[in-house]
Amino acid sequence: MIPNEVIIDLGAIRHNLSEIKRLAGPEARIAAVVKSDAYGHGMVPVAQTLESAGVDYFGVFEFQEALDLRQAGCKVPILIMMGITADEVSAVVENHLTAALFDRDIAEKLSSTALKRGVTVPVHVKVDTGMTRLGVAWTDVVHFLESLLPLKGIWLEGIFSHLAVADAPDEPFTGEQILRFLQAVEQSRRLGVCQEAIHVANSGALLGKRGLDLGMIRPGILLYGSPPSEGWKAASTFRPAMTFRSKVVQVRRVPAGTSVSYGRTYTTPESAVIATIPVGYDDGYSRKLSNQGEVLLHGSRVPVVGRVCMNLTMLDVSSLQGVAVGDEVVLLGVQGEAQITAEEIAKMTGTISYDVYCSLGKSNRRTYVDS
Ligand SMILES: *Cc1c(COP(=O)(O)O)cnc(C)c1O
Protein backbone atom coordinates (compact mmCIF):
# COMPACT_ATOMS: atom_id res chain seq x y z
CA MET A 1 0.00 0.00 0.00
CA ILE A 2 1.16 3.54 -0.74
CA PRO A 3 2.67 4.81 2.52
CA ASN A 4 1.43 8.37 1.98
CA GLU A 5 -0.76 9.59 4.76
CA VAL A 6 -2.38 12.81 5.89
CA ILE A 7 -2.64 12.79 9.67
CA ILE A 8 -5.11 15.11 11.36
CA ASP A 9 -4.60 15.97 15.02
CA LEU A 10 -8.08 16.58 16.44
CA GLY A 11 -6.47 17.78 19.68
CA ALA A 12 -4.90 20.65 17.72
CA ILE A 13 -8.32 21.59 16.36
CA ARG A 14 -9.76 21.62 19.89
CA HIS A 15 -6.79 23.74 21.04
CA ASN A 16 -7.33 26.17 18.14
CA LEU A 17 -11.02 26.53 19.02
CA SER A 18 -10.11 27.46 22.58
CA GLU A 19 -7.54 29.99 21.29
CA ILE A 20 -10.26 31.49 19.06
CA LYS A 21 -12.55 31.76 22.09
CA ARG A 22 -9.81 33.40 24.12
CA LEU A 23 -9.20 36.04 21.41
CA ALA A 24 -12.90 36.63 20.73
CA GLY A 25 -13.92 36.97 24.37
CA PRO A 26 -16.27 34.84 26.46
CA GLU A 27 -19.46 36.33 24.99
CA ALA A 28 -18.76 35.53 21.34
CA ARG A 29 -20.60 32.61 19.79
CA ILE A 30 -18.58 30.64 17.25
CA ALA A 31 -19.82 29.60 13.81
CA ALA A 32 -17.07 27.19 12.77
CA VAL A 33 -16.46 27.15 9.01
CA VAL A 34 -16.08 23.52 7.89
CA LYS A 35 -16.71 23.94 4.14
CA SER A 36 -14.69 22.02 1.54
CA ASP A 37 -14.31 18.97 3.79
CA ALA A 38 -13.08 21.22 6.62
CA TYR A 39 -10.36 22.68 4.38
CA GLY A 40 -9.22 19.14 3.55
CA HIS A 41 -9.18 17.96 7.18
CA GLY A 42 -12.37 15.86 6.91
CA MET A 43 -15.68 17.58 7.67
CA VAL A 44 -17.38 14.94 9.80
CA PRO A 45 -14.60 14.12 12.30
CA VAL A 46 -13.67 17.81 12.57
CA ALA A 47 -17.30 18.84 13.12
CA GLN A 48 -17.84 16.10 15.71
CA THR A 49 -14.75 17.30 17.58
CA LEU A 50 -15.92 20.91 17.46
CA GLU A 51 -19.47 20.02 18.44
CA SER A 52 -18.33 18.16 21.53
CA ALA A 53 -16.09 21.13 22.37
CA GLY A 54 -19.17 23.37 22.38
CA VAL A 55 -19.21 25.17 19.06
CA ASP A 56 -22.45 27.14 18.46
CA TYR A 57 -23.00 26.93 14.70
CA PHE A 58 -21.43 25.41 11.59
CA GLY A 59 -20.83 27.23 8.33
CA VAL A 60 -20.75 25.06 5.21
CA PHE A 61 -20.71 26.14 1.59
CA GLU A 62 -23.53 24.12 0.10
CA PHE A 63 -26.59 22.09 0.89
CA GLN A 64 -25.05 18.62 0.44
CA GLU A 65 -22.40 19.37 3.07
CA ALA A 66 -25.09 20.40 5.55
CA LEU A 67 -27.05 17.23 4.83
CA ASP A 68 -23.91 15.12 5.32
CA LEU A 69 -23.39 16.74 8.72
CA ARG A 70 -26.98 16.07 9.77
CA GLN A 71 -26.72 12.47 8.57
CA ALA A 72 -23.56 12.07 10.66
CA GLY A 73 -25.62 13.03 13.70
CA CYS A 74 -24.60 16.66 14.04
CA LYS A 75 -27.15 18.54 16.17
CA VAL A 76 -26.01 22.17 16.18
CA PRO A 77 -27.44 24.67 13.67
CA ILE A 78 -25.83 24.68 10.21
CA LEU A 79 -25.66 27.71 7.93
CA ILE A 80 -25.50 27.04 4.18
CA MET A 81 -23.40 30.04 3.19
CA MET A 82 -23.96 29.92 -0.59
CA GLY A 83 -27.72 29.89 -0.11
CA ILE A 84 -29.96 27.20 -1.56
CA THR A 85 -31.81 26.38 -4.76
CA ALA A 86 -35.55 25.83 -5.13
CA ASP A 87 -35.21 22.04 -5.33
CA GLU A 88 -33.37 21.98 -1.98
CA VAL A 89 -36.04 23.87 -0.04
CA SER A 90 -38.05 20.95 1.30
CA ALA A 91 -34.96 19.04 2.50
CA VAL A 92 -33.66 22.23 4.14
CA VAL A 93 -36.89 22.57 6.10
CA GLU A 94 -37.01 18.88 6.95
CA ASN A 95 -33.42 18.78 8.24
CA HIS A 96 -33.60 22.03 10.24
CA LEU A 97 -30.90 23.71 8.18
CA THR A 98 -30.31 27.46 8.00
CA ALA A 99 -30.08 29.00 4.55
CA ALA A 100 -28.21 32.17 3.68
CA LEU A 101 -30.93 34.27 2.08
CA PHE A 102 -30.64 36.94 -0.61
CA ASP A 103 -33.38 35.87 -3.01
CA ARG A 104 -37.05 36.71 -2.61
CA ASP A 105 -38.28 33.67 -4.61
CA ILE A 106 -36.39 31.27 -2.35
CA ALA A 107 -37.83 33.11 0.65
CA GLU A 108 -41.37 32.53 -0.62
CA LYS A 109 -40.73 28.88 -1.27
CA LEU A 110 -39.20 28.42 2.20
CA SER A 111 -42.19 30.19 3.71
CA SER A 112 -44.84 28.12 1.95
CA THR A 113 -42.99 24.85 2.62
CA ALA A 114 -42.53 25.65 6.31
CA LEU A 115 -46.20 26.68 6.67
CA LYS A 116 -47.37 23.46 5.02
CA ARG A 117 -45.39 21.47 7.58
CA GLY A 118 -46.35 23.68 10.51
CA VAL A 119 -42.73 24.58 11.33
CA THR A 120 -40.54 27.67 11.25
CA VAL A 121 -37.33 27.74 9.19
CA PRO A 122 -34.40 29.96 10.24
CA VAL A 123 -32.54 32.07 7.68
CA HIS A 124 -29.59 34.45 7.78
CA VAL A 125 -29.83 37.36 5.37
CA LYS A 126 -26.62 37.70 3.38
CA VAL A 127 -25.50 41.28 2.79
CA ASP A 128 -22.91 42.18 0.18
CA THR A 129 -20.89 45.06 1.61
CA GLY A 130 -18.13 45.14 -1.00
CA MET A 131 -16.98 41.61 -1.75
CA THR A 132 -19.23 41.59 -4.84
CA ARG A 133 -19.77 37.87 -4.67
CA LEU A 134 -23.08 36.88 -3.04
CA GLY A 135 -25.80 38.72 -1.22
CA VAL A 136 -28.17 41.65 -1.21
CA ALA A 137 -26.33 44.93 -1.79
CA TRP A 138 -26.07 46.80 1.50
CA THR A 139 -27.96 49.69 -0.09
CA ASP A 140 -30.94 47.39 -0.82
CA VAL A 141 -31.20 45.70 2.57
CA VAL A 142 -34.14 47.69 3.95
CA HIS A 143 -36.16 47.06 0.85
CA PHE A 144 -35.32 43.33 0.89
CA LEU A 145 -36.13 42.93 4.59
CA GLU A 146 -39.43 44.77 4.20
CA SER A 147 -40.37 42.43 1.38
CA LEU A 148 -39.78 39.46 3.73
CA LEU A 149 -41.89 40.77 6.62
CA PRO A 150 -45.22 39.41 5.34
CA LEU A 151 -43.81 35.88 4.86
CA LYS A 152 -44.87 33.55 7.68
CA GLY A 153 -42.93 30.43 8.56
CA ILE A 154 -39.53 32.08 8.09
CA TRP A 155 -37.56 33.08 11.14
CA LEU A 156 -35.23 35.96 10.26
CA GLU A 157 -32.65 34.77 12.77
CA GLY A 158 -29.53 36.45 11.50
CA ILE A 159 -27.73 38.77 9.17
CA PHE A 160 -24.16 38.48 7.91
CA SER A 161 -21.58 39.75 5.46
CA HIS A 162 -18.12 38.72 4.28
CA LEU A 163 -14.93 40.81 4.28
CA ALA A 164 -12.63 41.11 1.26
CA VAL A 165 -9.35 42.22 2.86
CA ALA A 166 -9.61 41.37 6.57
CA ASP A 167 -6.38 39.34 6.32
CA ALA A 168 -4.42 42.56 5.65
CA PRO A 169 -3.79 44.48 8.90
CA ASP A 170 -4.86 48.15 8.83
CA GLU A 171 -6.60 47.91 5.47
CA PRO A 172 -9.17 50.76 5.46
CA PHE A 173 -11.66 48.92 3.23
CA THR A 174 -12.40 46.52 6.13
CA GLY A 175 -13.57 49.50 8.19
CA GLU A 176 -15.68 50.67 5.26
CA GLN A 177 -17.31 47.24 4.87
CA ILE A 178 -18.03 47.02 8.60
CA LEU A 179 -19.67 50.47 8.53
CA ARG A 180 -21.88 49.38 5.64
CA PHE A 181 -22.75 46.19 7.52
CA LEU A 182 -23.56 48.08 10.74
CA GLN A 183 -25.89 50.28 8.75
CA ALA A 184 -27.71 47.17 7.49
CA VAL A 185 -27.76 45.73 11.02
CA GLU A 186 -29.29 48.94 12.34
CA GLN A 187 -31.98 48.81 9.66
CA SER A 188 -32.81 45.21 10.59
CA ARG A 189 -32.92 46.19 14.27
CA ARG A 190 -35.46 48.91 13.53
CA LEU A 191 -37.61 46.36 11.73
CA GLY A 192 -37.21 44.01 14.70
CA VAL A 193 -35.61 41.15 12.72
CA CYS A 194 -32.28 39.33 12.32
CA GLN A 195 -31.03 40.12 15.83
CA GLU A 196 -30.12 36.61 17.10
CA ALA A 197 -27.06 35.97 14.91
CA ILE A 198 -25.10 38.95 13.56
CA HIS A 199 -21.72 38.01 12.11
CA VAL A 200 -19.03 39.39 9.85
CA ALA A 201 -15.65 38.35 11.33
CA ASN A 202 -13.56 35.69 9.57
CA SER A 203 -10.11 34.64 10.87
CA GLY A 204 -8.43 37.83 9.61
CA ALA A 205 -10.98 40.03 11.35
CA LEU A 206 -10.55 38.04 14.55
CA LEU A 207 -6.77 38.57 14.54
CA GLY A 208 -7.26 42.25 13.64
CA LYS A 209 -10.01 42.63 16.27
CA ARG A 210 -12.57 43.90 13.78
CA GLY A 211 -16.28 43.19 14.01
CA LEU A 212 -15.94 41.14 17.20
CA ASP A 213 -18.67 42.90 19.22
CA LEU A 214 -21.63 41.63 17.22
CA GLY A 215 -22.18 38.40 19.16
CA MET A 216 -20.97 35.82 16.63
CA ILE A 217 -17.82 35.19 14.58
CA ARG A 218 -17.18 32.90 11.63
CA PRO A 219 -13.57 31.64 11.59
CA GLY A 220 -12.18 28.98 9.27
CA ILE A 221 -8.43 28.79 8.69
CA LEU A 222 -7.46 29.48 12.33
CA LEU A 223 -9.33 26.33 13.40
CA TYR A 224 -6.87 24.38 11.28
CA GLY A 225 -3.90 26.22 12.78
CA SER A 226 -2.83 28.69 10.08
CA PRO A 227 -3.12 32.47 9.96
CA PRO A 228 -5.00 33.88 6.93
CA SER A 229 -1.83 35.71 5.84
CA GLU A 230 1.65 36.49 7.15
CA GLY A 231 2.51 38.93 9.88
CA TRP A 232 -0.05 38.16 12.59
CA LYS A 233 1.75 37.79 15.95
CA ALA A 234 -1.48 36.69 17.65
CA ALA A 235 -1.55 33.61 15.41
CA SER A 236 1.61 32.10 16.90
CA THR A 237 -0.31 30.18 19.60
CA PHE A 238 -2.30 28.22 17.02
CA ARG A 239 -1.21 24.68 16.13
CA PRO A 240 -1.40 23.26 12.58
CA ALA A 241 -3.57 20.15 12.65
CA MET A 242 -2.36 18.53 9.40
CA THR A 243 0.75 16.44 8.77
CA PHE A 244 1.59 14.88 5.41
CA ARG A 245 4.12 12.09 5.38
CA SER A 246 5.49 9.37 3.15
CA LYS A 247 8.32 6.85 3.15
CA VAL A 248 11.45 6.38 1.07
CA VAL A 249 11.00 3.66 -1.58
CA GLN A 250 14.51 3.68 -3.11
CA VAL A 251 17.98 5.03 -2.25
CA ARG A 252 20.88 5.14 -4.69
CA ARG A 253 24.34 6.69 -4.95
CA VAL A 254 24.86 8.29 -8.37
CA PRO A 255 28.01 9.82 -9.90
CA ALA A 256 28.59 13.52 -10.60
CA GLY A 257 26.85 14.71 -13.77
CA THR A 258 23.76 12.52 -13.37
CA SER A 259 20.50 14.16 -14.47
CA VAL A 260 17.38 13.62 -12.37
CA SER A 261 13.72 13.33 -13.50
CA TYR A 262 11.77 14.64 -16.51
CA GLY A 263 13.26 17.47 -18.51
CA ARG A 264 16.70 16.90 -16.92
CA THR A 265 16.32 20.16 -14.98
CA TYR A 266 18.76 19.02 -12.27
CA THR A 267 22.19 17.46 -12.67
CA THR A 268 24.22 16.32 -9.66
CA PRO A 269 27.28 18.59 -9.30
CA GLU A 270 29.14 15.77 -7.55
CA SER A 271 28.51 12.22 -6.46
CA ALA A 272 25.15 12.24 -4.63
CA VAL A 273 22.69 10.03 -2.78
CA ILE A 274 19.21 10.27 -4.28
CA ALA A 275 16.15 9.02 -2.37
CA THR A 276 12.81 8.53 -4.12
CA ILE A 277 9.40 8.97 -2.47
CA PRO A 278 6.04 7.92 -3.95
CA VAL A 279 4.57 11.44 -3.78
CA GLY A 280 3.67 13.57 -6.79
CA TYR A 281 1.36 16.25 -8.03
CA ASP A 282 -1.48 13.74 -8.13
CA ASP A 283 -1.15 13.62 -4.33
CA GLY A 284 -1.59 17.38 -4.05
CA TYR A 285 2.17 18.01 -3.87
CA SER A 286 2.53 20.83 -6.39
CA ARG A 287 4.76 20.46 -9.44
CA LYS A 288 5.91 24.01 -8.65
CA LEU A 289 7.96 22.46 -5.84
CA SER A 290 10.30 20.96 -8.48
CA ASN A 291 13.91 21.94 -7.58
CA GLN A 292 12.45 24.18 -4.87
CA GLY A 293 10.67 22.29 -2.12
CA GLU A 294 12.24 20.86 1.02
CA VAL A 295 11.08 17.91 3.10
CA LEU A 296 12.10 16.46 6.47
CA LEU A 297 14.14 13.27 6.80
CA HIS A 298 15.94 12.12 9.97
CA GLY A 299 14.81 15.46 11.48
CA SER A 300 16.66 17.57 8.87
CA ARG A 301 15.64 19.47 5.77
CA VAL A 302 16.59 17.91 2.44
CA PRO A 303 15.91 19.39 -1.01
CA VAL A 304 13.60 18.16 -3.75
CA VAL A 305 15.74 17.73 -6.86
CA GLY A 306 14.46 17.62 -10.43
CA ARG A 307 10.83 17.77 -11.44
CA VAL A 308 8.02 16.53 -9.21
CA CYS A 309 6.36 13.77 -11.27
CA MET A 310 2.75 12.60 -11.14
CA ASN A 311 3.47 9.97 -8.47
CA LEU A 312 7.18 10.25 -7.58
CA THR A 313 9.61 12.85 -6.28
CA MET A 314 13.40 12.67 -5.77
CA LEU A 315 15.37 14.07 -2.84
CA ASP A 316 19.08 14.76 -2.53
CA VAL A 317 19.92 13.13 0.80
CA SER A 318 23.71 13.31 0.45
CA SER A 319 23.92 15.39 3.64
CA LEU A 320 22.57 12.47 5.71
CA GLN A 321 24.14 9.16 6.70
CA GLY A 322 22.39 5.82 6.35
CA VAL A 323 19.13 6.81 4.66
CA ALA A 324 17.22 3.58 4.01
CA VAL A 325 14.10 2.34 2.28
CA GLY A 326 11.15 2.78 4.66
CA ASP A 327 12.48 5.90 6.41
CA GLU A 328 9.75 8.41 7.21
CA VAL A 329 9.62 11.62 5.14
CA VAL A 330 7.52 14.56 6.39
CA LEU A 331 6.40 16.89 3.59
CA LEU A 332 4.13 19.03 5.80
CA GLY A 333 4.40 19.17 9.57
CA VAL A 334 6.98 18.46 12.25
CA GLN A 335 9.76 15.87 12.44
CA GLY A 336 12.13 16.18 15.38
CA GLU A 337 12.97 19.86 15.79
CA ALA A 338 12.21 20.77 12.19
CA GLN A 339 8.95 21.94 10.65
CA ILE A 340 7.53 22.57 7.18
CA THR A 341 4.42 24.77 7.27
CA ALA A 342 1.60 25.16 4.77
CA GLU A 343 2.58 28.84 4.56
CA GLU A 344 6.08 27.86 3.38
CA ILE A 345 4.71 25.53 0.69
CA ALA A 346 2.12 28.14 -0.33
CA LYS A 347 4.76 30.79 -0.78
CA MET A 348 6.83 28.55 -3.09
CA THR A 349 3.81 27.55 -5.15
CA GLY A 350 2.21 30.98 -5.48
CA THR A 351 -0.88 30.20 -3.44
CA ILE A 352 -2.24 30.33 0.13
CA SER A 353 -2.22 27.79 2.98
CA TYR A 354 -5.95 27.16 2.43
CA ASP A 355 -5.19 25.75 -1.01
CA VAL A 356 -2.30 23.58 0.27
CA TYR A 357 -4.55 22.03 2.96
CA CYS A 358 -7.44 21.41 0.53
CA SER A 359 -5.16 19.78 -2.08
CA LEU A 360 -3.25 17.50 0.30
CA GLY A 361 -6.33 16.61 2.34
CA LYS A 362 -8.44 15.74 -0.67
CA SER A 363 -5.77 13.65 -2.42
CA ASN A 364 -4.62 11.36 0.38
CA ARG A 365 -5.79 8.79 2.87
CA ARG A 366 -6.48 10.55 6.17
CA THR A 367 -5.95 9.16 9.64
CA TYR A 368 -6.89 10.84 12.90
CA VAL A 369 -4.98 11.22 16.14
CA ASP A 370 -5.90 13.15 19.27
CA SER A 371 -3.00 14.77 21.08
C1 LIG B 1 -14.50 30.64 4.02
C2 LIG B 1 -15.39 31.63 4.69
C3 LIG B 1 -15.14 32.04 6.01
C4 LIG B 1 -13.91 31.66 6.79
O5 LIG B 1 -12.80 32.39 6.35
P6 LIG B 1 -11.34 32.19 7.00
O7 LIG B 1 -10.50 33.17 6.31
O8 LIG B 1 -10.95 30.78 6.72
O9 LIG B 1 -11.50 32.45 8.46
C10 LIG B 1 -16.09 32.86 6.61
N11 LIG B 1 -17.18 33.27 5.93
C12 LIG B 1 -17.43 32.93 4.65
C13 LIG B 1 -18.65 33.43 3.97
C14 LIG B 1 -16.53 32.12 3.98
O15 LIG B 1 -16.77 31.78 2.71
Secondary structure of 138-157 in HEC code, one letter for each residue: HHHHHHHHHHHCCCCCEEEE
**226 and 303 share one domain:** no
**186 and 255 share one domain:** no
For Cα atoms 163, 59, 29, give the angle at the middle one, nearest 5 degrees.
80
**4 in any annotated domain:** no
Q: Which atom of ligand 1 is nearest to the CA of 203?
A: 9
Work out the number of other CB atoms within 10 angstroms of the CB of residue 169: 14
245 falls in which pLDDT band (50, 70, 90)?
very high
Q: Give the residue, out of 50, 174, 202, 210, with the most ligand 1 atoms within 8 A of its beta carbon, to mutate for a pocket test.
A: 202
The predicted pLDDT at position 2 comes to 93
The predicted pLDDT at position 63 comes to 98
**For ligand 1, is residue 38 a contact (CB within 6 Å)?**
no
**160 and 23 share one domain:** yes
Distance 219 CA to ligand 1 centre (A): 6
**263 and 128 share one domain:** no
**64 in any annotated domain:** yes
**For ligand 1, is residue 36 a contact (CB within 6 Å)?**
no
The predicted pLDDT at position 53 comes to 98
**172 in any annotated domain:** yes
Distance 220 CA to ligand 1 centre (A): 5
The predicted pLDDT at position 350 comes to 98
**For ligand 1, is residue 81 a contact (CB within 6 Å)?**
yes
CATH of the domain at 247: 2.40.37.10
**210 and 274 share one domain:** no
151 falls in which pLDDT band (50, 70, 90)?
very high
**364 in any annotated domain:** no
Q: Which atom of ligand 1 is nearest to the CA of 218?
A: 10
**What does the mean pLDDT of the chain come to?**
98
Rounded to an integer, what distance in angstroms lies between the CA atom of residue 82 and that of residue 11?
Answer: 29
Distance 168 CA to ligand 1 centre (A): 14
Of 207, 233, 259, the residue that ends a domain is 233
**For ligand 1, is residue 218 a contact (CB within 6 Å)?**
yes
Of 212, 233, 254, the residue that ends a domain is 233
**For ligand 1, is residue 106 a contact (CB within 6 Å)?**
no
**Looking at residues 306-326, what average pLDDT do you find?**
98
The predicted pLDDT at position 137 comes to 98
State yes or no: is 262 an active-site residue. Answer: yes
pLDDT digits (tens, 9 = 90+) for 132-150: 999 999 999 999 999 999 9
**For ligand 1, is residue 162 a contact (CB within 6 Å)?**
yes
Q: Which atom of ligand 1 is nearest to the CA of 162?
A: 13
**190 and 111 share one domain:** yes
Domain membership of residue 53 as a residue range? 10-233
Per the residue annotation, which of 152, 209, 233, 262 is the catalytic one? Answer: 262
Share of the chain above pLDDT 90, in %: 98
Distances in Å between the alpha carbon of 291 and those of 153, 175, 299? 60, 42, 20
**336 and 214 share one domain:** no
**Looking at residues 78-92, what average pLDDT do you find?**
98
CB 304 within 8 A of CB 350: no
**346 in any annotated domain:** no
The predicted pLDDT at position 30 comes to 98
Please count the structural domains in the chain.
Answer: 2
**40 and 97 share one domain:** yes
- Stated length of the chain: 371
Rounded to an integer, what distance in angstroms lies between the CA atom of residue 247 and that of residue 5?
Answer: 10
**For ligand 1, is residue 221 a contact (CB within 6 Å)?**
yes
**91 and 42 share one domain:** yes
Distance 57 CA to ligand 1 centre (A): 13
Nearest residue (CA) to ligand 1, atom 13: 162
Per the residue annotation, which of 21, 35, 116, 233 is the catalytic one? Answer: 35
**Looking at residues 46-73, what average pLDDT do you find?**
98
What type of residue is 209?
A: K
**For ligand 1, is residue 353 a contact (CB within 6 Å)?**
no
pLDDT digits (tens, 9 = 90+) for 283-313: 999 999 999 999 999 999 999 999 999 999 9
pLDDT digits (tens, 9 = 90+) for 183-220: 999 999 999 999 999 999 999 999 999 999 999 999 99
**14 in any annotated domain:** yes
Spell out the residues 6+ positions from residue 118 whose beta carbon is closer than 8 angstroms to its own: none
Rounded to an integer, what distance in angstroms lies between the CA atom of residue 133 and that of residue 129?
Answer: 10
CATH of the domain at 228: 3.20.20.10
Distance 221 CA to ligand 1 centre (A): 8
**356 in any annotated domain:** no
**84 and 208 share one domain:** yes
**Looking at residues 50-72, what average pLDDT do you find?**
98
Of 191, 214, 233, the residue that ends a domain is 233
Q: Which atom of ligand 1 is nearest to the CA of 222?
A: 9
Widest pairwise Cα distance in the chain: 80
**262 and 218 share one domain:** no
Separation of CA 345 from chain center: 16
The predicted pLDDT at position 215 comes to 97
Rounded to an integer, what distance in angstroms lies between the CA atom of residue 32 and that of residue 58?
Answer: 5
State yes or no: is 35 an active-site residue. Answer: yes
**274 in any annotated domain:** yes
**Looking at residues 33-43, what average pLDDT do you find?**
98
**For ligand 1, is residue 34 a contact (CB within 6 Å)?**
no
**56 and 192 share one domain:** yes
